[in-house]
Copies of this chain bind each other. A is one copy, B any other.
Amino acid sequence: MDYYSKSVNKLIQELTRLPGLGTKTAQRLAFHIINMPKEHVESLASAMVTARREVRYCKECFTITDQELCPICSNGNRLHNQIMVVEEPKDLVAYERTGQYKGVYHVLHGVVNPQLGITPADIKMKELIKRLEGDVDEVIIATGSTTEGEATAMILSKFIKPTGIKVTRIASGVPVGGDLEYVDEITLMRAYDGRIEL
């Protein structure tokens, strides 16, 4: 129904395209936007268009970057023979924040998901296989602990093992600082199975 002006209706409709935005949230956001200073709206709009236009992926690891090669891949101090495989650039960022990992990455841009029709060919898997022709000692699979993340890890390991390169998986377990009573049963069992001697 045309309760608002045409341009506001159009904005609400466009906003509902974004993930996780239902009509109510889109409406709330639209009202916020039309009450923002004009320059802020223009600045947000142009940031969107610019980011979309200028987005580039590292030709080596496929993370988001400005250059042909990302700062990590072009850093001579990183261990280029250790590749951590993650689902998305934000997972790379999460590991970078730890400041502990010294190797390089490979961003798959997704996981295999038969229900959504996402096959290994839809993610950057063959690009990873190609990188293994170089000097690689270890591939650390850091996809999520979801069904799809685990399935993708299995598929990757099946591809990589025959090459003789070491394949590891990040540990599952109880989060540090986490109270046992709030941890689900599967995680608790994983933590038990993965126990280490002290």
| A binding-site residues for B, Cβ under 8 Å | 1-8, 10-11, 13-15, 17-19, 27-34, 36, 38, 40-56, 64-66, 71, 88-90, 92-93, 96-97
**Cross-chain contact A51 with B30 (CB below 8 angstroms):** yes
Interchain Cβ contacts under 8 Å between A and B, 15 examples: A1-B97, A2-B71, A5-B51, A11-B50, A14-B48, A15-B44, A15-B47, A17-B40, A28-B90, A33-B48, A33-B51, A41-B52, A42-B49, A42-B52, A45-B46
With beta carbons under 8 angstroms apart, the residue of B11, B38, B88 that contacts A47 is: B11
Q: A-side binding surface: helix, strand, loop or mixed?
A: helix
**Cross-chain contact B65 with A11 (CB below 8 angstroms):** no
Chain B, residue nearest A66 (CB): B5
**Cross-chain contact B4 with A54 (CB below 8 angstroms):** no
**Cross-chain contact A56 with B5 (CB below 8 angstroms):** yes
Chain B neighbourhood of A7, CB < 8 A? 47, 50-51, 54-55, 66
Chain B neighbourhood of A90, CB < 8 A? 27-28, 31
**Cross-chain contact A52 with B33 (CB below 8 angstroms):** yes
When A and B form their complex, which 3 residue pairs have the shortest distance between CB atoms, in order from nearest?
A45-B45, A11-B51, A41-B52
* Measured CA separation A154–B148 after assembly (Å): 56
